[in-house]
Structure 1
Amino acid sequence: MSSLGTVLDPAGQPRKPGALCIGAQKAGTSWLAQMLGQHPQIWIPPFKEVQYFNHLFLPGHRKWIDWHYRQKPQEVRDRHARRGIPVPPDLDAYLNGVTRGKMFHNQWYKRVFAPAPPVAIPMDFTPEYSTLPDEGVDYVARFLPRAKVIYLIRHPVDRAVSQLRMNLQREGRRPQTLAEWMAEIDNPVLHDRGDYASYLPRWQAQYPEMLVLPFGRIARDPHGLMEAVEAHLGIGPWLYSNIAEKVFASRNPLQPPPEAIAALEDRIAPQLAFLADHLGADFVAQTR
């Protein structure tokens, strides 16, 4: 996603997105957004995650989604300020327009993608969508029946550890004892985003052509992965800059002790068994 080069069509009309990236959290969605944000045939909102369908169907998300929309437009402006580049008036007007007044209704959602150039496919990158209940996925399929959907799968243990470290850093917490670490491992929030056995069949039932990609290909074969994404989205090839760079690499030195990792592996073993049965052992090997 181009942080300063977002192209806006100020005369654009409200439109639905043509593609979704639904997750998983901590599985490379920011990297993929950074890559596709460079492609002239893809348009991603400057704040990346729209958070629309989970606002409708996951009420527990609404409080932090409100925070997301208070913070993200300012982050866009701050990025410009750090680089000494003024915020284009069209971008400033757009950020104000989608974050003021009544939000989270169908017309608002389509307005989010209105500035996409006519030649570009608008795309919504919101990892939380992967966790929608059945009625939420059904709603998405009725509203966006022709959308192209992408789901990145990371090894469930690695994904959970990455999420745990991120959550601890955000909350300013630092477990000291093994008992405290074991309590963190038992937190259901840690397991929800990686519940592939529940979420993957639910989405594939509505989008049988959904592109499912293993996280490990980002490091081992980024060019091949992007070729698969381009083919799925029906866009031409592109020469991506910084394709080998990590996005949002964790700087948190905290690491769960071996006993906590072992407990996490035991708890998550059914997810690995599901992935092996559903996608094959070769796919699982590429998730890390």
Structure 2
Amino acid sequence: MSGSLYNDNFYDKQCQESFESALIVLTKLRELLAENIELSSVVDFGCGVGSWLAAAKQVSFETVLGTDGDYVSRDKLMISKHEFIANDLSKPSSIALPLVKCDLAITLEVAEHLPEDAADDFVTKITSMSDLILFSAAIPYQGGHGHVNENWLEYWEDKFKSNGYVAVDLLRPTLWNNKKVCWWYRQNLIVFIKTDKLSCLPTGTPINLPLSIIHPEQYLLAVHREKTSRNFSLKQDISYLSAFNDKDEVEPQSYGKEYSYTETESKVIDTIEDLEAYAEQEGDAVLLDALAPIKHQSFDLKAFKASIRPSHNSPDFLCVGAQKSGTTWLYEVLKQQKGIWMPPLKELNFFNQLTFKSDSAYSGVWRREAALKRLHQATKNPKVDEKWLDFLFHLCKKKVDLDWYSDIFKKCPNGKLSGEITPEYMMLPVEGVRAIKALNPNVKIIFILRHPLERIKSHLKMIKGRCPNISDSLLVSLAQNESVLFRSSEYDKLVRNWLTVFDREQLFISDYDSLNKAPCDFFNELKRFLDVNLINDIPIFNRRIHVSSHNSEHFPINLEKLDEQYQLVNSWQKVDFDFVG
């Protein structure tokens, strides 16, 4: 388990989500087993800061021992420092622990973080420490942070069986609808017990039942993170489900026609014309943007400046790109900050609509489509506020002007910073950048730039995800399409466009890879730049958004040759970064 993946916030979040779950689970375990099995000592493999062990102490375990990577901050431990032993869990044969067995061994949502070739040895090591194991691990496609071996529980059952252990579904039936226990425990929590100890279990304990079962909350999360058609928000869906579990009075929520999973045969798309027809048929603005040429339109900067009035509102900061560089993650994190106000639509695409033609790449014409979807979602809530609906209607306007843009930021409460994130702004010509400066000379500008070859790869994987039948040859061709290539080919030139208009101290330029590896450090730098208090103690902080589902093992493009032709990396190396972790 790599230390760089697990920052302080990961463990802070773990404390909050795990401790209460642990109290409930361990209390129930003691209630079911304590009559026949001694439960006074416990060892936790992958203990993090020790939230489960801290809970174990509260439910009368006398001796606790936790092990995890050396990167776990000792200052954050919820157990004593002498109760923690640092080990590299990805190398189970080298894990050093006392030879004395414990009454219980636990390893919860840890095994999926370890490489597959370590799985057998990891199970062997756990079973060497106790005859009773409390185990859970992420199932395929569950999602999370740093997972490298998501697998079915039957996969793990085989490994425990080889060590003489039997799977027992002892806890899940009693925890299934308990919202105080995290859903991943309610879904994956299994007890493994040594075969010769089976007689110690309560009479009627279910054995040899299906292990891999999907909790409704996992199912809803999976539906909402994919591009499936859905009628309600994730929050609305979970609230509706919870009402049944809580025996509350439920107002029926209609899900309309059934969702069809039938795959229809479709031909391979291997020409630009075929792809354009597909994008038009699907109404996919992202695909159309990738195919569109770059078309500038006449923009009267002087007239724009003359239209600006002192009463006009504008954002205090902008994040202007790059696309596929973590801007959606940043939007979701900033949206939850007490000192910051963000519009309910991530990409307003105002300034690019001034300078690019509507059929051009970078024009942001999909802004209205996104706003209409946001409005449609809100109308599903019968209790939605009228003023909120009016605001969403405002975002849906087809023709926009400076008054339209100003009215959006009028909603920002006093005392908060307002911001906007539109990655296409990075592509603005100098006239567009000057329009931003004219509206707010003091605005702060955030760039998150991704290594050009990785950005192109991510962009093309997104295209592949939206059009699975696209041929490799067409994907290779699209890599050189100007709307795809230009976003990565001239980073230094694009940044210089902004530096000709703004002072250098108004720009914050970060490397995406550094953000990905050290999000807390990035956040601290951003906090200083914006001069506002930012917190990372929020669930979304360690979550990746818009992760491509396209299989990354096969990628048909030789990026090195692309770099030789267009000198992409050379342009990247000329950028003066503020944050490189």
Work out whether the TM-score is over 0.5. yes
Shift of 1:202: 1.0
Q: Unaligned regions of 5+ residues in structure 1, if any?
A: 5-12
Q: Secondary structure at the match of 1:200?
A: helix
Residue 39 of structure 1 is aligned with which of 316, 334, 337? 337
Is the aligned partner of 1:119 residue 2:418? no
**Closer, same or farther: CA 79–97 of 1 in aligned 2, 3 Å:** closer
**Closer, same or farther: CA 42–153 of 1 in aligned 2, 3 Å:** same
Is the aligned partner of 1:200 residue 2:495? yes
Aligned residue number for residue 371 of structure 2: 72
Shift of 1:276: 2.0
Shift of 1:190: 1.1
Aligned residue number for residue 276 of structure 1: 573
Kindly name which structure, 1 or 2, has the bigger radius of gyration based on alpha carbons. Answer: 2
Distance 2:514 2:408 in 1: 31
State the one-letter code of the partner of 2:331.
A
Is the aligned partner of 1:176 residue 2:471? yes
Aligned residue number for residue 27 of structure 1: 325
| Contact map agreement 2:452 2:572 (CA 8 A) in 1 | no
1:151-170 matched pairs, under 5 angstroms: 151-170=447-466
Is the aligned partner of 1:131 residue 2:419? no
Instruction: Provide the TM-score with structure 1 as the length reference.
Output: 0.82
**Closer, same or farther: CA 182–167 of 1 in aligned 2, 3 Å:** closer
Distance 2:412 2:340 in 1: 8
Is the aligned partner of 1:146 residue 2:445? no
| Contact map agreement 1:47 1:73 (CA 8 A) in 2 | no
1:92-111 matched pairs, under 5 angstroms: 92-100=389-397, 103-111=399-407
Distance 2:499 2:468 in 1: 37
**Closer, same or farther: CA 176–217 of 1 in aligned 2, 3 Å:** same
Distance 2:372 2:339 in 1: 23
Aligned residue number for residue 8 of structure 1: none
Distance 1:167 1:187 in 2: 13
Instruction: Provide the TM-score with structure 2 as the length reference.
Output: 0.43
Aligned residue number for residue 185 of structure 1: 479
Shift of 1:266: 2.4
Is the aligned partner of 1:223 residue 2:517? no
**Closer, same or farther: CA 91–272 of 1 in aligned 2, 3 Å:** same
Aligned residue number for residue 7 of structure 1: none
1:244-283 matched pairs, under 5 angstroms: 244-253=542-551, 257=555, 259-268=557-566, 270-279=567-576, 283=580
Distance 2:551 2:536 in 1: 34
Q: Unaligned regions of 5+ residues in structure 2, if any?
A: 1-233, 236-310
Deviations 1:208-262 (A, max 9, x none): 1200011012321111111111111110132431311101111122666455333
Q: Secondary structure at the match of 1:243?
A: helix
Shift of 1:198: 1.9
Aligned residue number for residue 352 of structure 2: 54
Distance 1:237 1:109 in 2: 26
Distance 2:575 2:536 in 1: 33
Shift of 1:91: 1.5
State the one-letter code of the partner of 2:487.
R
Percentage of matched positions with identical amino acids:
22
Residue 89 of structure 1 is aligned with which of 357, 381, 386? 386
Distance 1:114 1:250 in 2: 36
Distance 2:393 2:555 in 1: 45
Distance 1:175 1:128 in 2: 25
State the one-letter code of the partner of 2:345.
F
Distance 1:139 1:61 in 2: 21
Shift of 1:206: 2.0
State the one-letter code of the partner of 2:314.
K
Distance 2:349 2:527 in 1: 24
Distance 2:382 2:478 in 1: 42
Q: Secondary structure at the match of 1:124?
A: strand
Distance 1:278 1:129 in 2: 18
Q: Larger deviation: 257-266 or 186-195?
A: 257-266
| Contact map agreement 2:334 2:340 (CA 8 A) in 1 | yes
**Closer, same or farther: CA 250–232 of 1 in aligned 2, 3 Å:** same
Distance 1:77 1:88 in 2: 14
Aligned residue number for residue 198 of structure 2: none
| Contact map agreement 1:98 1:111 (CA 8 A) in 2 | no
Aligned residue number for residue 63 of structure 2: none
1:238-249 matched pairs, under 5 angstroms: 238-241=535-538, 242-249=540-547
| Contact map agreement 2:322 2:424 (CA 8 A) in 1 | yes
State the one-letter code of the partner of 2:371.
K
Aligned residue number for residue 224 of structure 2: none
State the one-letter code of the partner of 2:530.
L
Q: Secondary structure at the match of 2:366?
A: helix
Aligned structure 1 segments of 4 or more residues deviating by more than 6 angstroms: none
Q: Secondary structure at the match of 1:151?
A: strand
Q: Secondary structure at the match of 2:544?
A: coil
Shift of 1:79: 7.0
**Closer, same or farther: CA 79–248 of 1 in aligned 2, 3 Å:** farther
**Closer, same or farther: CA 14–97 of 1 in aligned 2, 3 Å:** farther
Shift of 1:97: 2.5
Distance 2:565 2:438 in 1: 35
**Closer, same or farther: CA 278–97 of 1 in aligned 2, 3 Å:** closer
**Closer, same or farther: CA 136–206 of 1 in aligned 2, 3 Å:** same
| Contact map agreement 1:185 1:260 (CA 8 A) in 2 | no
| Contact map agreement 1:17 1:123 (CA 8 A) in 2 | yes
